[in-house]
């Protein structure tokens, strides 16, 4: 389980993990934590949670923007992830931006430096940029006129003749803030969950909000039947996790890229990239063995000397022997993964019923409805997991060309 401090630095290139990956990353304990997260999220939606849980919407914005008051000198700055470089790129002036950045990133940071000081931000915050001038287009979706912007993979659309559309069109930039930082030095700032945007000064030229999950209408609730279905999934997950305890704790220690544990995680990710459903446990288990052998055969074929070839043949043979020796346990490890993902997807589908802005994927000259990128859940201990319908969003994220190009 990743601590929120680790997650935060998506800004510092730390990767936030999918909930179901916890059984491979952290073994049996990771599986228990994943189930607890799923229980707490269900309780949050039904209003019966006794465990503090913060949930934020993962907006598909880009680039990540850092801004606020540098605690070392009291000056307002903007920047990208590079504000945390060993040699930080912190921009106080337009000249700084020209010197530190280029291309599309420089243009967007230039607008941020002009507009974001109007919010009177105290401290340091991080947000995901939604749009700047030129990004908003007029579109027709299902015969309805709308305005739309595509900061990364997802296109966000708002019906044309609405107050929200008018707010967006008046703005020079749009940004969703999700992380706040405190500390006396930029090099050791501590990250905190969420941003209190109510403290910011409102201005027509900046469309902004926080990323907190809001269900003011009470739509994202569970019926009695849905609760029974969901609880059944969690019981199945716990059963598989318990039966796979020994192998899960072995797999979490296998971090070498050619180990069975590391390859199992990569295998699942490969299936998702290809748009394949992860559901049939027996088939997944059989295909994984073939996949593992194929990966090592490729490594063997690359080697020039007999000594090197023997080395990788030994790795392959040991790995296949491990897979065959733990055949039954690996079945339950894969079943745990499948069931956790199924329960998570069920939960995310309920949460997706609440959307303030329409979300679409552009296909050719048209649009198809999609769901938000996903959510981030953080418990009171600061542990964080990512909740994404991977077959829908991750596949799109891997395969669609991006509107955003780094500078």
The answer to whether residues 65 and 78 touch, using CB atoms and an 8 Å cutoff, is yes
- The verdict on residue 114 lying in a domain is yes
The answer to whether residues 195 and 125 touch, using CB atoms and an 8 Å cutoff, is yes
- The verdict on residue 395 lying in a domain is no
Same domain, 72 and 29: no
Spatial CB neighbours of 308, under 8 Å, sequence gap ≥ 6: none
Same domain, 67 and 206: yes
Cis-peptide, bond into residue 63, ω within 30° of zero: yes
Same domain, 65 and 205: yes
Same domain, 76 and 42: no
- The verdict on residue 400 lying in a domain is no
What pLDDT is stored for residue 64 in this prediction?
A: 94
What pLDDT is stored for residue 328 in this prediction?
A: 96
Same domain, 307 and 284: yes
Same domain, 37 and 96: no
Same domain, 241 and 111: no
End-to-end CA distance of the chain: 33
Q: Where among 210, 238, 269 does a domain terminate?
A: 210
E strand spans, 274-388:
358-363, 366-369, 374-379, 383-387
What pLDDT is stored for residue 42 in this prediction?
A: 82
Q: Where among 158, 176, 210 does a domain terminate?
A: 210
pLDDT profile of the chain (407 residues), mean per 10: 34 59 93 89 69 69 96 97 95 98 97 98 96 93 86 87 92 95 93 90 96 59 85 96 96 95 94 85 96 97 96 97 97 96 87 65 62 60 61 47 46
Closest CA to 133 of 184, 90, 170, 83: 170
pTM assigned to the model: 0.63
What pLDDT is stored for residue 359 in this prediction?
A: 65
- The verdict on residue 152 lying in a domain is yes
Q: How many domains does the chain have?
A: 2
Same domain, 92 and 49: no
Q: How far apart are CA 181 and CA 309, in angstroms?
A: 50
What pLDDT is stored for residue 156 in this prediction?
A: 87
- The verdict on residue 397 lying in a domain is no
pLDDT digits (tens, 9 = 90+) for 364-382: 666 565 655 666 665 655 5
Place of tokens 């199992």: 264
Same domain, 244 and 339: yes
Q: How far apart are CA 156 and CA 360, in angstroms?
A: 6
Q: How far apart are CA 257 and CA 364, in angstroms?
A: 37
What pLDDT is stored for residue 252 in this prediction?
A: 95
Tally of CB atoms within 10 A around 193: 19
Q: Where among 194, 210, 226 does a domain terminate?
A: 210
pLDDT digits (tens, 9 = 90+) for 244-290: 999 999 999 999 999 999 999 999 989 988 888 888 999 999 999 99
- The verdict on residue 288 lying in a domain is yes
Which 3 state secondary structure label does DSSP give 79? Answer: strand
Same domain, 72 and 53: no
Same domain, 205 and 77: yes
Range of the domain at 40: 2-57+218-350
Same domain, 51 and 74: no
Q: How far apart are CA 267 and CA 117, in angstroms?
A: 46
- The verdict on residue 195 lying in a domain is yes
- The verdict on residue 368 lying in a domain is no
């Amino acid at each position: 389980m990743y601590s929120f401090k680790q997650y935060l630095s998506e800004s510092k290139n730390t990767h936030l993990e999918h909930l179901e990956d916890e059984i491979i990353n952290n073994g049996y304990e990771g599986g228990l934590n994943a189930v607890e997260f799923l229980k707490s999220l269900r309780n949050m939606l039904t209003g019966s949670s006794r465990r503090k849980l913060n949930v934020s919407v993962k907006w598909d914005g880009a680039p990540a923007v850092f801004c606020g008051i540098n605690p070392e000198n009291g000056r307002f700055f903007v920047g990208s992830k590079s504000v945390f470089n060993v040699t930080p790129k912190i921009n106080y002036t337009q000249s700084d931006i020209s010197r530190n950045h280029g291309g599309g990133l420089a243009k967007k940071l230039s607008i941020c430096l002009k507009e974001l000081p109007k919010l009177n931000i105290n401290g340091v915050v991080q947000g995901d940029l939604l749009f700047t001038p030129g990004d908003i287009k007029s579109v027709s979706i299902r015969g309805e006129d709308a305005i739309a912007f595509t900061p990364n993979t997802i296109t966000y659309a708002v019906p044309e003749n609405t107050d929200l559309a008018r707010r967006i069109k008046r703005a020079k930039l749009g940004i969703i803030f999700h992380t706040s930082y405190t500390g006396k030095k930029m090099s050791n700032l501590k990250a905190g969950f969420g941003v209190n945007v109510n403290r910011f000064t409102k201005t027509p030229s900046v469309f902004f909000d926080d990323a907190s999950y809001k269900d003011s209408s009470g739509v994202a609730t569970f019926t009695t039947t849905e609760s029974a279905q969901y609880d059944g999934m969690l019981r199945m997950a716990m059963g598989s996790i318990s039966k796979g305890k020994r192998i899960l704790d072995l797999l979490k220690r296998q971090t070498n890229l050619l180990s069975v544990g590391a390859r199992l995680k990569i295998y699942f990710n490969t299936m998702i990239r290809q748009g394949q459903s992860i559901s049939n446990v027996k088939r997944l288990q059989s295909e994984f063995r073939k996949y593992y052998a194929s990966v090592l055969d490729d490594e063997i074929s690359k080697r020039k000397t007999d000594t090197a070839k023997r080395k990788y043949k030994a790795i392959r043979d040991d790995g296949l022997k491990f897979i065959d020796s733990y055949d039954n346990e690996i079945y339950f490890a894969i079943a745990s993964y499948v069931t956790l993902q199924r329960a998570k997807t069920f939960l995310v589908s309920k949460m997706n019923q609440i959307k303030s802005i329409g979300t679409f994927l552009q296909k050719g000259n048209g649009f198809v409805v999609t769901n938000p990128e996903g959510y981030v859940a953080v418990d009171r201990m600061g542990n964080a997991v990512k909740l994404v319908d991977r077959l829908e969003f991750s596949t799109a994220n891997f395969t669609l060309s991006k509107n955003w190009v780094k500078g």
